[in-house]
Chain A
Amino acid sequence: MANLSPTVPASAQFVLPKRPNPILHFVRAQPMGAVSFIIIIIMMFAGLFPQFVAPYNPLDIDFASILAAPSWDHWFGTDAYGRDIFSRIIYGSRTALVIGFASSALGSSIGAVLGIASAYFGGRIDNWIQRFMDILLAFPIIVLALVVVAALRKTVIYGVDVNLIIAIAIPIVPRVARVVRAAALSVNVMPYIDAARAAGYSDARIIFRHMAPNVTAPFLIMFTAFIAQAILLEASLSFLGLGVTEPIAAWGLMLSGNAADFYREAPWMVIFPGVAISLAVFAFNLFGDSLRDYLDPRFKT
């Protein structure tokens, strides 16, 4: 062995860069990602412990201050029942996070696995998976979700309607699967995948260890984009009476319920829930982008 050492390149002896604390490094490398992460943390805290943040009970009806404009008493104003909008937004973040995050995570993950498997196995399996995805794509999102909700009914676990999550996740699956499949097809012909096959690794190992990490870029973009879609879809389903129902505080519901009747007189009824949804979507998208860059070793110095 020692005899081979002369072939070591002389200039290869430069010092190994120390791999820093990942959190600190992330903050330094992706400042915008850190900002968005803080927004997400705040939302999560609000969702987990709304009682510590919200000044009022979100369900308390106060006929004395119906449609009150924003003031020191009601920061974001009140709605048609005199309920405090700020408190409702705080409480609503739980619904938004759970439904939005969970259904996008579920739908995108299944979509990614199907997409990679489709590209990896090819041939008949690819054909079957893709035709099934085509069928799902043929239905408008809202119709598909409606059918699933109607078929599955409500199954509430810990106050969360699991079937609602599934209903929103299903339309996400084919959309992610198509994009991830396209990326996976180009990864599939890379020599390092051949090397993995030649080493006799199992299909599962090649899919999860070798292909999946190399399609994270499109996956993360789709995943974060669909969190936003999911929050909006949940709102639509709520409006149709199939999602979260009054009086539970939910951003989508706040936008779509009787706010529609009062937005001229009380624009704060729609502005603040809208801002909340936008901020959440913005934070998740930004965080997804930063995470993608951060996880790509080629972006590291």
Chain B
Amino acid sequence: MEAVVQSHSRAAQSSVPLLAVEDLHVQFETSRGIVRAVQGVSYTVNRGEVVAIVGESGCGKSVSALTMMRLLAKTGRVTKGRILLEGRNLLDLSDEEMRAVRGHEISMIFQEPMTSLNPVLSIGMQIMEPLLIHLKMTEEQAQVRALELMQQVGITDGKRRLSQYPHQLSGGMRQRVMIAIGLACKPKLIIADEPTTALDVTIQAQILELMKNLSRELGIALVIITHNLGIVARYADRVNVMYAANIIEKGSADDIFLKPAHPYTNGLMRSVPRLDEPRGTKLQTIEGLPPDLRMPPAGCRFAPRCPHRLEKCSQPIELIDLGAEHSARCHRVNEIMSGALKIEFPSGDTVASQAQIGDKPLLEVSNLKKHFGVKAAGAGFFSSEMATVRAVDDVSFTIAKGETLGLVGESGCGKTTVGRVVLRLDEATGGSIKFNGVDVTHHSGRNMRDLRRKIQVIFQDPYSSLNPRMTVGEIIAEPLKVYGIVPEKKARLDRVGELLTQVGLFAYMSERYPHELSGGQRQRVGIARALALEPELIVCDEPVSALDVSIQGQVINLLEGLQSRLGLTFLFIAHDLAVVRHISDRVAVMYLGKIMELADRDEIYRAPLHPYTKALLDAAPIPDPRVERARAPRALRGEIPSPLTPPSGCVFHTRCSIATDICKQDVPKVRELKTGHLVACHHAG
């Protein structure tokens, strides 16, 4: 390790790096033992550079950032290492000195813009606070600077915004405010911990673009911590890939993406579906789970999951220099780089024959409407004045038996509500839902119970979708018992075991409680629960978006395998375009409660007709720096309008680049421009 650090500092000797993390070790003392969250991590950040730290949850990427700010939880302790900011070791500073560094020299942007702003302080106050504290500005000076900052981060109408409160701003706006606060004291370094994970694709693109530009113009170095390889490709100069408390590969973005050396880096890139590549039959996936950091493997930490492990992989390994500041922590790195070893990951069931798609629609949704009444803004305390949110407004689609319809859109577009109405968890306000040709919109009682068996659901959050008080076995056995599918207890246990095997778990896991399982395993339990009723249609509501990248691939493959094996039909709701494209046969794009475009999967990605679909595809990051650099800057401006006051005419006209007067007046009709390609746009075609 020491040697590597040396070689690095030599390489960067021409100018002392702005930040140097040297052999950092951080551990947490928990009731269940010592968790070594960061072990021997070293990297540097130069002035004005964008450095990414990529890794899955629990790999130590956030801990290393929090250590830099000295904001570790009380149980955390730095056992070894230095963090040098311009040669000054931050770990040796007194609390007082450290406070002067925070927000002034280094500032931090957090993931959740909803909770990282204080809800009871005005935006202006929050931007001005660091100026008043660190730069000892007067109120007037601070206000002038705050307005300047608002402009810099692209908030128009700054004067009015200053007196607003966080709840009056959208998520993207809040993240801009966070960035403005981060910029306030002209820091040398900004640490952004998953800055766009909670944002929609189009907003994510805007924010990243903004951060990159700011760092270039103002010469601020940027450390982006993320699990998303795609966003890194476009914006990072250098990338550090972390796995199980170690950096396992580091290098320039081009090296990491084009010549990845470590099998884990390779695996990460292959387990994500990509927008720019034809849809393969199956994703390659990294099997298994990251190691327990209380007792990590003695040798290469990735070895237990690596398809190319050898005897020697159980020996400890340090970063091996590959030249040009590219290094990787792998015993077989030379074989990999010379091309002697081709990295292949298993892709589960490679013969995934396409499920037979029937001719008759299984589900027909026509003119579906779901309106919610909410108390009107500005209505008095005793007033009962109501406003209507048109969460779903006139949506029609069909799904044939054995088919997967992908429903994509940004948050608040109504895609989840469509799913809930189809599941009959919410009552439709208008329109009809036909299942197997029977109108089920207002089923109740006995009919409803029969319908419930045939339509099941898989939820997004594997943590809250399982009852924490029931064992996995109880959860899966319950529907079998309630519906008398398997009335006998012994047989029921067997069936539970069978279902668990079907989703890639073990029968003995039925004894476990959900909290004893990992996120991916829980999601599999959720799938097994849905399968227990032997449904025909499964509504998948963002089933992989809460999972880590390497686990996502596993679950997607599982869903595809189950579909072809059991002849299932999916309504697949997601915001990730690449995932939707991978799994769906047809794709519907929603915006503000309406379907904008619906077409065959390949068709919609190859030749999108609606400007919104084009913008969405444009904004979705692709994990390849060459492709990313060749792409035009993101065109889509602005935010999604409030569903309380949707724009007149075409709801998209406020953000559309080709909108004309007619778009403001007339709601565009859904037109079938080609066979099976529906578009709601005045100007398409």
Contacts and interface: CB of A to CB of B under 8 A. Distances in A.
Given A9-B504, A12-B505, 19 more contacts: A3-B348, A4-B561, A6-B287, A7-B348, A7-B557, A9-B520, A9-B521, A10-B289, A11-B289, A11-B304, A191-B459, A196-B467, A199-B456, A199-B479, A200-B449, A200-B452, A213-B470, A216-B469, A297-B468
Interface in B450-501: 451-453, 455-457, 459-461, 464-470, 478-479, 482-483, 498, 501
B465 A8 contact: no
Given A16-B508, A213-B469, A297-B515, A198 B455 contact: yes
Contacts of A73: none
A191 B461 contact: yes
Nearest to B529: A195
6 contacts: A11-B305, A12-B509, A13-B506, A195-B529, A199-B479, A200-B452
Interface residues of B, number: 62
Given A191-B461, A198-B423, A200-B452, A7 B469 contact: no
B121 to A, nearest CB: 26
Interface in A265-301: 296-298, 300-301
A1 B460 CA distance: 25
B165 interface: no
B263 to A, nearest CB: 14
A12 B561 contact: no
A183 to B, nearest CB: 13
B520 to A, nearest CB: 7
B656 interface: no
Contacts of A5: 501, 504
Contacts of A203: none
Given A7-B285, A7-B558, A195 B465 contact: yes
Interface string B509-535: 101110100101100001001000100
A201 B482 CA distance: 7
A297 B518 CA distance: 15
A2 to B, nearest CB: 9
Interface in B271-308: 285, 287-289, 291-292, 304-305
Nearest to A194: B425
B289 A9 contact: yes
A19 B513 CA distance: 12
Contacts of B346: 6
Contacts of B341: none
A199 B289 contact: no
Interface in B345-397: 346, 348-349
Question: What 3 A-B pairs are tightest by C-beta distance, nearest first?
Answer: A200-B452, A213-B469, A191-B465
Nearest to B420: A194
A214 to B, nearest CB: 6
B215 interface: no
Interface string A79-110: 00000000000000000000000000000000
Interface string B424-445: 1100000000000000000000
Nearest to A202: B482
A191 B452 contact: no
A85 B557 CA distance: 75
Nearest to B466: A192
A201 B455 CA distance: 14
B304 A8 contact: no
B466 A4 contact: no
B667 to A, nearest CB: 32
